[in-house]
Amino acid sequence: MDVGIFSELQCASDLAITTAYRQIIDQAELADQIGFRSMWLAELHFTRAFSVMPAPQLVAAAIAARTRRLRLGIGVYILPVHHPLRLAEEAAALDILSEGRLEFGAGRGHPFTRVYEGFGVPADQSRERFDECLEIVRRAWTEPRLSFKGKFHSFENVELVPKPVQKPYPPIHVGAVSPPSFISAGEQGFNVMCPAQVVPVPAIKEMIASYRDAARRAGHPQSSLRVSLLLPVFVARTRAEAEEIPRHGIMSYYEATGRLMQELLRERGLSDQFTVYNRVNEFMGSLTYEGVLRNHAVFGEPEAVRDRLIEMRDELGLDEVLAWIDIGGIDHEAVTTSMKLMADKVLPHLSR
């Protein structure tokens, strides 16, 4: 099993945003040097308390110039708010700049931000827009010229320039938190990534099984599928340190999530298109730090983290864990110390 690093670039209130940007690039350079496979960056908009990274492709381009081996994942592009041709162009350019290291994550974004309101896109169109955008991006990467007539986008005889380095196109990973999303990804033969910070492991196990079954029925070989788990991870020399250092960061993340969710529930009401609204709302109401440690994170000394990740790998059939070490804006020095411990004491045991 591979291990990558994930970040939403959450910035503590007393930290300058410019400093946060320098630190995430430094962390990526370190990840490249000490053996992590990938660095994944999220796209988020209009929520200072939550993230300061609206353009992860630009951060990834800066990282590409400072690294040589590290795979660069966008986890995820919020497809419904992008013009698909513009997105395909930018992603292809990033694949070129990184010399073929792009991992293309596709999703509909956090349901608890104002991304749809901000860009003037109806949230209840998110699924249809996602499907149409992804189809156009994939075809634009592979067809010499493309004509398309859809519900949201129409154009004639467009030549996408440049094309990606990777052929036929960069790996596509669909972000999924619900059974229909897992099944849809499996039917289309896409890789899948799931966030463990809001979905408990038993539910993830069931959805991964449905994903693999859907892919099998659609004729996609299991060897072509890649399952990644986004997971809060923190390694320290003792269990007490591993639980205490990230405590404020991860709980502030959940508190911000719950507050934003409550605001949007009042403004939008429940939506069948985003069933995760109700699920997350209920989840936040009963959340404790002990529950987070039990069901949604792996914090501990190296041996404990190693054993738990091996257990999860075998139970879920994981290909990669995306370790979210800086969740909630954890201090840069603490993040890099944890990364080094993980690389030295945990990673060598996961590839066996």
- Give the pLDDT score at 279: 63
The Cα 158–Cα 268 span in angstroms is 37
Could you tell me if 297 and 231 are in contact, meaning their C-beta atoms sit under 8 angstroms apart? Answer: yes
pLDDT digits (tens, 9 = 90+) for 174-221: 999 999 999 999 999 999 999 999 888 899 999 999 999 999 999 999
Q: Are 17 and 11 in contact (CB under 8 A)?
A: yes
Share of the chain above pLDDT 90, in %: 84
Q: Which residue do the tokens 């939506």 mark? A: 271
* Predicted local confidence at residue 268, as pLDDT: 66
What count of other Cβ atoms lies within 10 Å of the Cβ of residue 311?
12
60 pLDDT higher than 70: yes
Q: Is the dihedral of CA 94, 96, 98, 100 positive or negative?
A: positive
Q: List the alpha helices (DSSP H) in the chain.
A: 17-34, 56-66, 84-97, 115-119, 126-142, 179-188, 201-217, 239-244, 247-268, 276-285, 289-295, 302-316, 332-345, 347-350
Residue 13 near residue 47 (C-beta atoms within 8 A): no
Contact 176, 207 (CB under 8 A): yes
Where do we find the tokens 């070989």? 221
Residues in Cβ contact with 81 at an 8 Å cutoff, skipping those fewer than 6 apart: 109, 115, 116, 119, 121
Q: Mean pLDDT over all residues of the chain?
A: 94
* Residue 236 in tokens: 């320290």
User: Is the CA virtual torsion 305, 310, 316, 318 positive or negative?
Assistant: positive
The pTM assigned to this predicted structure is: 0.94
Q: What contacts 271, CB < 8 A, 6 or more positions away?
A: 123, 124, 277
The predicted pLDDT at position 275 comes to: 57
Strand, coil or helix: what is 248? helix
- Residue 95's pLDDT is what? 99
- Average confidence (pLDDT) over 97-116: 92
Instruction: Output the domain CATH number for residue 59.
Output: 3.20.20.30
Place of tokens 């860009």: 119
Confidence of residue 167 (pLDDT cuts 50, 70, 90): very high
pLDDT at 130 exceeding the cut of 80: yes
The residue range of the domain holding 316 is 2-350
Q: Provide the domain count of the chain.
A: 1
What are the CA-CA distances from residue 79 to residues 42, 75, 131, 316 (Å)? 12, 11, 9, 27
Q: Specify the DSSP element, H or E, that contains 173.
A: strand 172-175
- pLDDT tier for residue 284 given thresholds of 50, 70 and 90: low
Q: Give per-residue pLDDT as tens, 222-268.
A: 999 999 999 999 999 999 999 999 999 999 998 888 888 777 766 76
In which residue are the tokens 């788990």 written? 229
Q: Are strands 154-158 and 146-149 parallel, antiparallel or unpaired?
A: antiparallel
Is a pLDDT exceeding 60 seen at residue 271? no
Q: Which two tokens stand for residue 257?
A: 């999530």
Q: Is the pLDDT of residue 110 over 90?
A: no
Show the tokens assigned to 307.
Answer: 């054993």
- Evaluate whether 11 touches 23 at the Cβ level (below 8 Å): no
Token representation of residue 271: 């939506």
Query: Which of 136, 140, 44, 34 lies closest to 92 in space, CA to CA?
Result: 140
Q: What angle do CA 343, 348, 352 make, to 5 degrees?
A: 150
